Structure formats: structure tokens, C-alpha cells
A and B are shown apart, each in its own frame.
Chain A
């Protein structure tokens, strides 16, 4: 398998930001991929944290409108980023 490394910037759309339930969905999605995935909150200039850890994810304090930079390295980096971007940017108040 080819090792890839990809980066993408997303904007949080959910009115509550990256709240607990939303973070949970992100972690569960991230854990379906083998790649190492980190994320940093550009709007707060945080350092990168592990997307697969809810405790680290919540330390981003990401609110609606914040820009996050995702970085994935591994065999399924692109797929992981695509799935996560969709989730980060979704604004479904019932599902997440």
C-alpha cells in the first residue's frame, strides 16, 4: 500500500461547535481508518492533536466558524480526510 500524506482545512458549521456529541462522532469515524490523523485549530492557533482521542479533540475548543487544519498520514489518508471533512462541516443538529 502506498503511504500518503494529505492536508485539508475545514470550517466548523455546527452552531454548537465541536461539542461533545459531535466530537464523539468524529472520533468514531477517525478510528475506522489506519492513518495517523491530527488536527489543529487555526482560529485559536493550537498545536496539532490526535483526532482519535476525544479528550485531545475537545482541547481544541472549536466553535462554529473556527477553521481547523486536518493532516492525515497512512495508507487511507485521503479517504479518512474526505470522511472527516464531511463530518466536521455538517450542520445536522439532530444527528450530531
Chain B
């Protein structure tokens, strides 16, 4: 019987295949008793200890094989993590400690392993350096692999781990999966995953998106039973649907959809270098978040309209003393030059290809001037503000370091119990004025060197006083630096809105800045009081929670009143399904991760400003982030960018709502 289950979309794409249900706690401690009879009593303690040691070595070898398999099948970055874990597994300290616990303290293999992990966890967790303290996780992970093997020696083949055989073309349906469990699944065989637990913001979802495995979550748990009886399943990761026992029509529909998706992706890549205009002609610059000069190149290859966020921490890494202004200026000037060159070429409609190395091609009809003409007609105010350029060429963020992001040369005076609420971002810079002074000098000199139009973004501003202080300092540096040049540099000063207080004060902040950029990642953590790196509470930290949407709208309204641009540079800006909502809330620019730019641009092209505003109104009236995510599945962008969902019953929202969005 055909059955559909609705959940939440967590990783885009469509998977069709054989359902494979993974039940929770397939590894049960009781299985040892059944498979490994306890040593008989007549055995001497020595023999018993030797048996336990052999049992440990056997489990150890299996855990090793499991890690080896993971290393072979992973991309280099992730393989690195597993190969370090493998070294921990073979560590002489571990082997010696377990051997001695078994032989001298008469522990069994499981207890000895647990004992060692607990001991190591205690040592590492007491370390003062957070990086090393957090490596306790890797030790625990290794220990758990050995214990799993000890308790379930039946699972001899590493690639099947505890999940049974995963056939080709499988849809995995599970209660929950950890990132390493998802990773351990044979990727070539898994077409999609559906989970009862999990959230679009969870680590497992992020990994699924990286691996390009379609994923839906928040599935009703009754789906597990239903799936066990089913012969075929479809997961739609774009809308968050699981379809069991699909009809031939469903199958045809979804196969077509899959093709449609890959075509959309190709089309987006082709148009990546064109500006993104909404249906009604509003130009939305799609910029890039970057970490250094290599990523600047990557950003322009993906069609970025500018750099919306240059993180400057890379300038400080690797040095044991604060880098002097001149050294910083050299790198910043290189980057500014690169940006200017790319954007100038783009403005002339010359670059159709992938960068400055390629000669302009002549066979294209040069659609750019036409688009730019449309922009002038429909959005004169914006084009005026952009001053003929495609977007803000380069936005430099002041050093954003702190207890949570330490720098080598910075001696922490006091260990902060709460680094996220401590001396970070601008607070640290004001505390160490010589650092701030050097960076302001570097930025001003860069602006003078071009001359380049720059934006300077200040992180972690909490009060208006802080903002005024930094403006005064910048003005002083400008005056002293430009005296020799005889010209004043063009530097716009703006704030990264990430402290809720600043968003709430947006009406007072906006008239005093040249632009606003909303840092939704930190803002989300501060508003919802949840750390997104902590898996226990990560699902709370959803940037689409209506409380965040209220703050974004409030900030945008203040920005509009002041006539300045409002950008979003958090993770959410890289999600094309959220694009109409952000535009509807009043955001005028987006800054995304470079690879996400083509699809975000494509999303903009399917937006209609009026409809986006209606959508935003509806979202603001939602009472949960789940409801907002559901609502987003009904947008024009979803209809156009993602395949039509006609074969599935529409998601349960009121008919009026869905009508107005189509």
C-alpha cells in the first residue's frame, strides 16, 4: 500500500531504492553473554586473564580493520581524522594500560577498556588548552569502537558495522544516526536517508549535505514499521517526504525530478556569472564569505558579486607576534586588487568564463548589459548606491578572536568560564588598542593604495558607545594616514549584527553606520541560548526560528529607514530555500559560501519581491522553526528550482496560504 510520511527537509536531492531499516540499540550488551560464554570457573586466574587479553586483541584487530575501511572510503579531510584515531588505537599507552588492567587487576576486556577511556578522558578534560581537552572525543570514539567489537563479535565485516548488509540502491531509514555512522555507510549504495530524530541543523545533516546524500528528518516513528514491510521507497530531501510503495507514476515522476535537479544545478552554474535579479527586477548582490586570497579566487569562479565577508583571522595565524600594519596591508592590497579586477571585468561584460586568466569570449550574446539596464529601470535607488559596481567589492571584518578563537601570541590573562560571553571580537580589540590600531592602519593604507572602495565590518558590537569609539578611532587613523596622500580613502563602516542587544537597538544603530550585516550564526546562538556545536542542544539553534526572523526584520526596517544596505552572512544565506524568506524580510544582499553562490543566485531569479514579503509575513506568524521550514517548501523557489511535488500530497498548510505562494 502506498504511504507517505512528511518530515523536514535536511539535505536536498531525491533518492529511490530499497528501504533498509536500522533499529536503535542493535548492539546490545546482552549479546556478549549469548555469544561469548563466561570463562568456566575451573580456569586459573592466569588463563582467564590471558583469554580476556586475546579477546581484547581480537576486538582491537577488528576495530583496526573498521578504521582502515573508513580511511579508504573517505575524502582526504575526513580520512585524516580516522587515521589519527587509528594511531590512538595502536598507541602503546593504551595497549599497556589495558594489558595491565586485565592481567594485574583481573578486569575483563570490556571493563579494562572502559577503565582506560575514563582515565584518559579525565586527564584530557582537565587540560587547560581547549583544543587538546576536546580531543578526549577521539579517545572515546576509539574506545567505543573496541567495546562495540567486544560486545558484538558477530559483526566481523567492518563495512557492515552494526547495520547489516547495505545493498546497492538502498534507502536507509533509522531512528537516528551519528555523523560517523552516516559516514560508515557504503556511500555508493546509499541513495537517501530518512531519520526519526535529527534536525536540519544537526551535524549529521551538515555531513549529508557535504556528501550530497539526500536526507529528511523528523519522521514519524511509525514509518520504521511501515518501511520494514515495503519493497520500495523514495526520499525527497527537498520537501522532506518519505514515500513507501510508490506507484509506477510516482517512480516516473521522481526519476524525472532527479534529472530535473541535475539540470537545474548545471543551469545555475552556467548563469553564475550573471547578476541575480528578482522576477520584478530587483538586483540582489550575492557575495562570498572567504578566509584568504585562495578563497577569493574560488569565490569569483563561483560568480560572487563581491566579498561580503573577508575574515582577517588568517593574517594572524602562524605568527607568534602581532603582525605589523604594513605586513597586513600587503595581503589586503593583493586581495583588494584581485576583487577590483574581477568586478571591473564583470562590469564591462567581459568575463564569461572562470577568471582573469581566460580571454573574453565573443560568441555569447553578452546578456549582461541588458540585465543591468533592467536593474536601472526597476531599482534605481540600489544601482545608485552601488555606484556602477556589481556589489560591494570587498568587506573586511576586523579581527574576530577571543577565548573561543585563541591566537598564538595572545596570552590570556584570565581563563574565561564563558568565552562566548567574554572578551571576543571588538571587545578584545578595544582591550588591546595596539592590535586595533595596526589593523585600522592596514585597512586605511589598503584603501589609499588602490584607491579601493572598502567596507569595514566590526564584529561583536554590543553598545552604541563601542560603535562611536571605533568610528572615532577610524577617523583619527584616516586623518593621520591621508595627510601624506592628500586624499581621503573611501571606507564604509558597518557592524556585524550578532549580539541581540544590537539588533534590538537597530533603529539607533542604523543612522550611525554605512551598512549592516547580520551574522545569523552567532545571533542564533545568543538569541536561543544554544550552542550549535553541542549536539545535545544544536537542534534548538535554528536560524529560522521565528524569534530570529523578528530580529532580522527589525534590523532590516531600521536599515531601510536609514537608506543603507542590509546583508546576511550566516550559514542561512547559503541555503537557496531560505532566500525568498530573507529577501521578504528586507535583506538587500546575501553573503554565502562560494560553492553555494550559483544556486542562491538562481533562487533569487525565481523570487518576486511582493510574494517574498507575503511569505515573510506568514513566517513571522509561525510559532516554531519547523513550521517555518514547512512553509518554505511551498515557495516559488521550491516550485521552480526543485522538481514539482505533484505526485505527493501537498504539505498540510492552509489552502489560502499555499495558493498565494504559487
Which residues of chain A have a CB within 8 Å of any CB of chain B? 13-17, 19-21, 23-24, 27-28, 50, 52-56, 58-59, 61, 63-65, 91, 93
CB distance from A73 to the nearest CB of B (A): 17
Q: List 19 A-B contacts (CB under 8 A).
A: A13-B318, A15-B317, A15-B318, A16-B131, A20-B81, A21-B80, A21-B84, A24-B84, A27-B87, A53-B91, A55-B88, A55-B91, A55-B93, A55-B139, A58-B132, A59-B132, A61-B127, A64-B318, A65-B409
Identify which of A28, A50, A63 contacts B93 (C-beta below 8 A): A50
Q: Give Cα A50–Cα B92 distance, bound, in whole angstroms.
A: 9
Residue with the highest number of chain B CB atoms closer than 10 Å, among A13, A20, A50, A54: A54
| Extra inter-chain contacts (6) besides given A19-B131, A53-B93, CB under 8 Å | A15-B408, A17-B131, A20-B135, A23-B84, A56-B93, A63-B408
Q: Distance (Å) between the CB of B139 and the closest chain A CB?
A: 7
Contact A61 B128 (CB under 8 A): yes
Give Cα A19–Cα B83 distance, bound, in whole angstroms: 14
Q: Quick one: which of B89-103 are within 8 Å of A by CB?
A: 91-94
3 closest A-B pairs (Cβ-Cβ)?
A: A64-B408, A15-B318, A15-B317
Please measure, in the bound complex, the distance between the C-alpha atom of A27 and the C-alpha atom of B93, giving whole angstroms: 13
Nearest chain B residue, comparing its CB with the CB of A54: B87
Chain A residue at minimal CB-CB distance from B321: A65
| Residues from chain A with Cβ under 8 Å of B87 in the complex | 24, 27-28, 54
Shortest Cβ gap from B199 to chain A (Å)? 28
A40 CB, min distance to chain B CBs, angstroms: 15
Question: How far apart sit A41 and B128, CA to CA, in the bound complex (Å)?
Answer: 14
Nearest CB to that of B123 among chain A residues? A59
Q: Smallest Cβ distance from A63 to chain B, in angstroms?
A: 6
Q: Which residues of A contact B88 (CB under 8 A)?
A: 54-55
Chain A residues with CB under 8 A of B132: 58-59, 61
Min CB–CB distance B82 → chain A (angstroms): 11
Interface membership of B129, Cβ < 8 A: yes
> Any chain A CB within 8 A of the CB of B480?
no
Bound together, the chains give a CA A80 to CA B320 distance in angstroms of: 27
Q: In B114-157, which residues have CB < 8 Å from any A CB? A: 120, 123-124, 127-129, 131-132, 135, 138-139
Is the CB–CB distance between A65 and B408 below 8 Å? yes
Q: Which residue of B lies closest to A20 (CB)?
A: B84
A35 to chain B, nearest CB (A): 15
Known A15-B317, A61-B127; judge A53-B92 contact (CB<8 A): yes
Task: Specify the chain A residue showing the minimal Cβ separation from B80.
Answer: A21
State which of A23, A52, A65, A93 has its C-beta within 8 Å of the C-beta of B320: A65
Flag if A55 contacts B80 (CB, 8 Å).
Answer: no
Cβ–Cβ < 8 Å partners of A17 in chain B: 131, 408
Q: Which residue of B lies closest to A56 (CB)?
A: B93
List the B side residues contacting A21 at CB < 8 Å: 80, 84
With both beta carbons as reference points, the residue of chain A lying nearest to B88 in the complex is identified as A54
Scan residues 69-83 of chain B and give those whose CB is less than 8 A from a CB of chain A.
80-81, 83
Name the one of B83, B93, B318 contacting A91, with C-beta atoms under 8 angstroms: B318
In chain A, what residue has the closest Cβ to B409?
A65
**B123: A residues at CB distance < 8 A:** 59
Identify the closest chain A residue to B136 (Cβ).
A58
Give Cα A50–Cα B94 distance, bound, in whole angstroms: 13
Chain A residues with Cβ under 8 A from B83's Cβ? 24
B319: A residues at CB distance < 8 A = 15
Q: Is the beta-carbon distance between A55 and B127 smaller than 8 angstroms?
A: no
B84 to chain A: which residues have CB within 8 Å? 20-21, 23-24, 54
Q: Complex formed: what's the CA distance from A58 to B123 in Å?
A: 11
Complex CA–CA separation, A17 to B135 (angstroms) = 14
Closest residue of chain A to B94, judged by CB?
Answer: A55
Q: How far is the CA of A58 from the CA of B319 in the complex (A)?
A: 21
Q: With A20-B135, A21-B84 as given contacts, are A63 and B129 in contact (CB-CB < 8 Å)?
A: yes
A58 partner residues in chain B, CB cutoff 8 A: 124, 132, 135
A21 to B87, CA, bound (A): 10
Q: How far is the CB of A7 from chain B (nearest CB, A)?
A: 22
Q: How far is the CA of A91 from the CA of B318 in the complex (A)?
A: 8
**A47 to chain B: closest CB distance in Å?**
13
Shortest CB distance B615–A (Å): 43
In the bound complex, residues from chain B placing their C-beta under 8 Å from that of A59 are 123-124, 127, 132
Given the known inter-chain contacts A15-B408, A24-B83, A63-B408, please indicate yes or no for A52 contacting B92, CB distance below 8 A: yes
Residues in B whose Cβ lies below 8 Å from that of A53? 91-93
Residue of A nearest to B130 (CB): A61
A16 to B129, CA, bound (A): 12
Chain B contacts for A23, CB-based, 8 A: 84
CA of A25 to CA of B91, assembled, Å: 13
**Chain B residues near A50 (CB-CB < 8 A):** 92-93
Inter-chain CA distance A16–B313, complex, in Å, is: 13
**Shortest Cβ distance from A65 into B: residue:** B320
Output the nearest chain A residue to B86 by Cβ-Cβ distance. Answer: A24
Residues of A contacting B408 in the complex (Cβ-Cβ under 8 angstroms) = 15, 17, 63-65
Are A61 and B92 interface neighbours, CB within 8 A?
Answer: no
Residue among A14, A17, A64 facing the most chain B CB atoms (10 A cut-off): A64
Rounded to whole Å, the gap between the CB of A52 and the closest CB of chain B is 6
Minimum CB–CB distance from A5 to chain B (whole Å) comes to 21
- Inter-chain contacts of B124 with A (CB < 8 A): 58-59
Known contacts A20-B84, A59-B127, A61-B129; A54 and B91 CB within 8 A of each other: yes
> Which residues of the other chain, B, contact A93 by a CB distance below 8 angstroms?
318
Which B residues lie within 8 Å of A27 (CB)?
Answer: 87
The distance from the CB of A31 to the nearest CB of chain B, in whole angstroms, is: 9
Q: B138 — which chain A residues lie within 8 A by C-beta? A: 20
Question: In this complex, what residue of B is CB-closest to A93?
Answer: B318
Assess A64 versus B320: contact at CB under 8 Å? Given A19-B131, A54-B87. yes
Q: Which residue of A lies closest to B83 (CB)?
A: A24
A55 to chain B, nearest CB (A): 5
Q: Which residues of A contact B93 (CB under 8 A)?
A: 50, 53, 55-56
How many angstroms between the C-alpha atoms of A14 and B317 in the bound complex?
9
| A23 vs B85: C-alpha distance when bound (angstroms) | 11
Closest-CB distance, A44 to chain B (whole angstroms): 9
Closest to A96 in B: B80
Alpha-carbon distance between A92 and B309 when the two chains are bound, in angstroms: 26
